[in-house]
Structure 1
C-alpha cells in the first residue's frame, strides 16, 4: 500500500451543514496569504487568513516520489552491486542478481567462515539500503490490523517537518477562536476548516507529485486533499495549538481518521488505544461531522476491530 485510498462519506440520516464558500491565495513580497471562508458544523460563517513567509515555501519533501516497488528494488540492487565490487576477492566472490522480482545474493569462498560473514553483511546492507531509500522519500513500513506489511507515506515525519510552516498559523487560529475557549472549541474549529477543504483523491500527478498523498502545507496551499493528507494536516495543526494533546491517526481499510484523547460526550464515537479512550473524527469531508461523529461505515470497521493506528508524538 503506497497510500491510503479514501472514501467519500455523505450521510443521509441527518442534515449535513457547512461548506467552503471562498478560497484565495495571494503572494506578496516576502510572504503568502491564504484566505478561507466556510460554513461550520452549525452553519455559522467562519473566515481565516493564514500568512507565512516565502522562506517556508520550500519544504524538505518537495521532491518526494511515488513509491514503486520495482524502482525501490532497482535502487537496492545497484547499491549492493557497488558493495560487492569492493569486497576483497581473496576473501570471497559475491554476486548480486535480480531474479523473479527478488534480489538474489550468492557468496563463494574457500572458507565457510567467509561465506557466512559476507552473506550476513550483504543481507544487513540490503535492509539498511532499503530503509534509507524509504526515509529519503518520506515513506515507511506499515502493518495493518490483519498483520499485513505494506509501505505508506511517513505521516508522522510529515507532521513533524510541517511544524515550522504551521507555527505562524497558531496565533491566527487563537484569535479566531478566542484564547479563553476550551480544547473542544479549537478541535471543532480546525475540523470544520479542514472538512470544508475540497476532497480530492490526488490522482493528478502534477498536484501530488505522483505520491497520491499531499503534505500538510500543500493541502492548505492547493486547497484540496484526501483522507490521510487531511488527517495529517489536522494532527499537525492540533499539535501546534495544543502541544500536550494525545493523538493518533487511525487506519481503516481504504480510509484514515484522526483520534484525540479528550473526554467524550454522550453517544460520541471513540476507540481504545493503549488503554486510553480517544475521540474519533472524520477530517476528510465533504460531510461536516463534528468531533465524535463518524460515518456508519467507519464505525462498523472500528467495531469489528478492522483498524490499526499510529500515535502522533
Structure 2
C-alpha cells in the first residue's frame, strides 16, 4: 500500500476516533459537551456537561501572545506623560525608541534633580510594565535554563477557572461512584489525555503563542501541555480546594503535582519538604497518576524545573 494511501486512512481513522471522543451540541443559550473515551484500564468512560454560550464566546476568546512592542508603547506613553509634567526650565527628558527598545536621557543643571527624576521614571517604568503584564494575563518567570522570560499567568487562570468550571466539576462528581482523590484525579487525567494534543511552542520564545486558557481548551477541544495542565489544576482545585498542587515546568513540557500521601511505587518530587505525586495531563499516552514519561524523569530527578504552588 502506498504511503499516501496509508496516511489518508490513518487521518480518517483519527477523525473518526476524535468524533467518537466528543459530541458537541449547540443549543439556544448553551453548548453541550458529551465525551466518550477509554481510561487507563481500557474501560469506557463518559462525561457530559453544558456551558453557557455567553461564557464560551466571551471568556478569553481573544487571548493573544505577549506583544513586546505594545508593552513598550504602553510604557512610553506613561513615561512621556510623566516627563511632560516637569518644568522644562528645570529638567528635560528626551526619549529614543529603536528595535523594540526604549531609552531616555535626563538633562538638568541640578544633579540632584536628575537623580530624582531618574528614580521616579524607573519606578514608573517598572510599575507600568507589571500593570501591562497583569492586564494581559502574563507574568515574568525565571527558568534554570533560559533566565527571565514572559509566560501566561497560569496560576491566575487556575484561580479564575475555579469560578466558572462548576458545571464541569459537578458532572465529574456525578460520573464516578468512588470519590477518593486518586480515583477522581485519574478520571480527569484520562479525560484530558483523550482531548487532542497541540505541540507546546517554546515557552521561552513564543511568549504565550499556542496557549489556551481552561475554557478555550474545552471550547476548541485541543490543548498543549501548559493548557491542559492549567485546566486540570482548576478542576481539581474546585473539587478539592485544600489540596496543594504544584504546576511543574520542564523546558518543553509541563506536569502537575498533587500533595497526597505517597506509596512506594509513586513517582513524586519534593518541594518545600512536601511530596507531590506527579501526573501527565497532556496525552495522548494514558499515564495514570504517579506515572510519567521517561523523557520527564531525568528533569525531575535533577530538579531541572521551576514550579508554582497552587
Q: If the length of structure 1 is used for normalisation, what is the TM-score?
A: 0.86
- For 1:99-121, what per-residue CA distance to the aligned partner results, in whole angstroms no more than 9, with x for missing partners? 46532121111222211111111
Preserved CA contact (<8 Å) 1:19 1:38: no
Taking the aligned partners of 2:184 and 2:145, their CA distance within structure 1 comes to 34
Taking the aligned partners of 1:22 and 1:61, their CA distance within structure 2 comes to 25
Task: Specify whether residues 101 and 52 from structure 1 end up closer, same or farther in structure 2 by C-alpha distance, changes over 3 A only.
Answer: closer
Taking the aligned partners of 1:70 and 1:55, their CA distance within structure 2 comes to 31
TM-superposed deviation, 1:202: 7.0
Aligned pairs for 1:123-142 within 5 A: 123-142=122-141
Counterpart of 2:46 in structure 1 is 47
- For 1:7-56, what per-residue CA distance to the aligned partner results, in whole angstroms no more than 9, with x for missing partners? xxxxxxxxxxx998421222212222111110000000011111122342
Taking the aligned partners of 2:19 and 2:265, their CA distance within structure 1 comes to 28
TM-superposed deviation, 1:62: 3.0
Counterpart of 1:11 in structure 2 is none
Counterpart of 1:3 in structure 2 is none
Taking the aligned partners of 2:285 and 2:18, their CA distance within structure 1 comes to 9
- Which has the larger displacement, 255-264 or 161-170? 161-170
Taking the aligned partners of 2:162 and 2:224, their CA distance within structure 1 comes to 20
Counterpart of 1:70 in structure 2 is 69
Taking the aligned partners of 2:251 and 2:89, their CA distance within structure 1 comes to 52
Preserved CA contact (<8 Å) 2:200 2:252: no
2:277 is equivalent to residue 279 of structure 1: yes
Counterpart of 2:102 in structure 1 is 103
SS at match of 2:60: helix
Taking the aligned partners of 1:161 and 1:212, their CA distance within structure 2 comes to 20
- Which has the larger displacement, 188-197 or 85-94? 85-94
Counterpart of 1:206 in structure 2 is none
SS at match of 1:285: coil
Counterpart of 1:239 in structure 2 is 237
Structure 2: tracts of 5 or more residues without a match: 1-16, 202-207
Task: Specify whether residues 231 and 43 from structure 1 end up closer, same or farther in structure 2 by C-alpha distance, changes over 3 A only.
Answer: same
TM-superposed deviation, 1:95: 1.4
- For 1:72-114, what per-residue CA distance to the aligned partner results, in whole angstroms no more than 9, with x for missing partners? 2233223322332232223311112124653212111122221
2:172 is equivalent to residue 157 of structure 1: no
Taking the aligned partners of 2:99 and 2:27, their CA distance within structure 1 comes to 54
Task: Specify whether residues 298 and 158 from structure 1 end up closer, same or farther in structure 2 by C-alpha distance, changes over 3 A only.
Answer: same
Taking the aligned partners of 2:156 and 2:140, their CA distance within structure 1 comes to 13
Counterpart of 1:169 in structure 2 is 168
TM-superposed deviation, 1:134: 0.8
Structure 1: tracts of 5 or more residues without a match: 1-17, 204-209
Higher relative contact order, structure no. (Cα contacts within 8 Å, ≥ 6 residues apart): 1
Preserved CA contact (<8 Å) 1:259 1:281: yes
Which has more helix, going by share of residues?
Answer: 2
TM-superposed deviation, 1:142: 0.4
Counterpart of 1:219 in structure 2 is 217
2:78 is equivalent to residue 79 of structure 1: yes
SS at match of 1:292: coil
Q: 2:290 aligns with which of 287, 292, 313?
A: 292
TM-superposed deviation, 1:128: 1.0
Counterpart of 1:6 in structure 2 is none
- Which has the larger displacement, 231-240 or 193-202? 193-202
Aligned pairs for 1:113-128 within 5 A: 113-128=112-127
- For 1:119-150, what per-residue CA distance to the aligned partner results, in whole angstroms no more than 9, with x for missing partners? 11111111111111111111100011247111
TM-superposed deviation, 1:181: 2.3
- For 1:196-220, what per-residue CA distance to the aligned partner results, in whole angstroms no more than 9, with x for missing partners? 10101277xxxxxx83100001101
Q: 2:195 aligns with which of 191, 194, 197?
A: 197
TM-superposed deviation, 1:232: 0.2
TM-superposed deviation, 1:271: 0.5
Taking the aligned partners of 2:227 and 2:75, their CA distance within structure 1 comes to 28
